[in-house]
Amino acid sequence: MHDAVCAALGLSGEQPVRGGCIHQCYRAALAGRPVFLKLNEARYADAFAAEADGLRALRRAGARAPEPIGHGVAGGEAYLLMEWLEIGSRGDFAALGTMLAATHRAHSDRYGWPRDNYIGSTLQENAPCAGWAEFWRHRRLEPQLALASRNGYRLEAPPVWRLLEGHKPAPSLVHGDLWSGNAGFLADGAPVLFDPAVYYGDREADVAMTELFGGFPEDFYEAYEECWPLESGYAVRKHLYNLYHLLNHLNLFGGGYLVQVRATLRLLARVL
């Protein structure tokens, strides 16, 4: 059905490209300008709206991210249209660390985000809470644990969010889903961020996730630390933050993540 969408949007020359686990992605032209098109069923319209909102937030904070051009429903399908960027996996990781630290300098007076958005295809709740420990408990861990229970996973989950009691980080703009697949580089090596799940929270949550699936090169961490050193206790808190993403992967992709989830819960229980 992408032909109907392209016709409705005035696109031409569409070609399939890689660009996501669950969406159909195309390179096309709009009035002679190369653009990137994401498509899915109409029920994904809100997810695309949330992605566009996150990209605009990153750009306002000074990060390089694709410019969203439009989103909605056309030809019976949800779409997100963005500028086309030639992005590779190799580039200046030190510049990425510096850019991320600068992005984290964008602050709010409370944790959360004006709208809910999505972590993968899972709804991510962002209503504000009184404190950071409450936010991480009620908006991150408890929804994932409840979903895991509904999916049939039996988990012994002690009150690990108590590790955040007394921890009061500045509410920083975070990317929210910062693994290596959601960062890349232009031809000149300049870093780019995409596929965000933004909110105002602890900047450590972003840095923690960069360590989760293989990690970034050391240049990234050295540059970030030079700009804004991480606080004492990060070595423990990073496991609590990554528990959220492991639970989400368990809920999205199945029991292959169950061993990691249980191991992380045991690790956190030992330091409670």
According to the 3-state scheme, what is the secondary structure of 34-61? EEEEEEEEHHHHHHHHHHHHHHHHHHHC
Q: Which residues face 223 on adjacent strands?
A: none
Query: How many Å apart are CA 238 and CA 242, to the nearest integer?
Result: 6
Query: How many Å apart are CA 78 and CA 73, to the nearest integer?
Result: 4
Q: Please measure the distance between the N-terminal and C-terminal CA atoms of the chain and give it in whole angstroms.
A: 53
What residue has token string 């960027």? 85
Query: From its phi and psi, is residue 147 left (phi > 0), alpha (psi between -120 and 50) or beta?
Result: alpha
How far from chain centre, in Å, is Cα 207? 12
Helix (H, G, I), strand (E, B) or coil at 139: helix
Q: Which residues face 185 on adjacent strands?
A: 88, 191
Q: Report DSSP state, residue 107.
A: B
Cα dihedral 241, 102, 213, 176 in deg (nearest 10): 50
177 is catalytic: yes
Of the residues 109, 116, 177, 219, only one is catalytic, namely: 177
Q: Which residues are catalytic?
A: 177
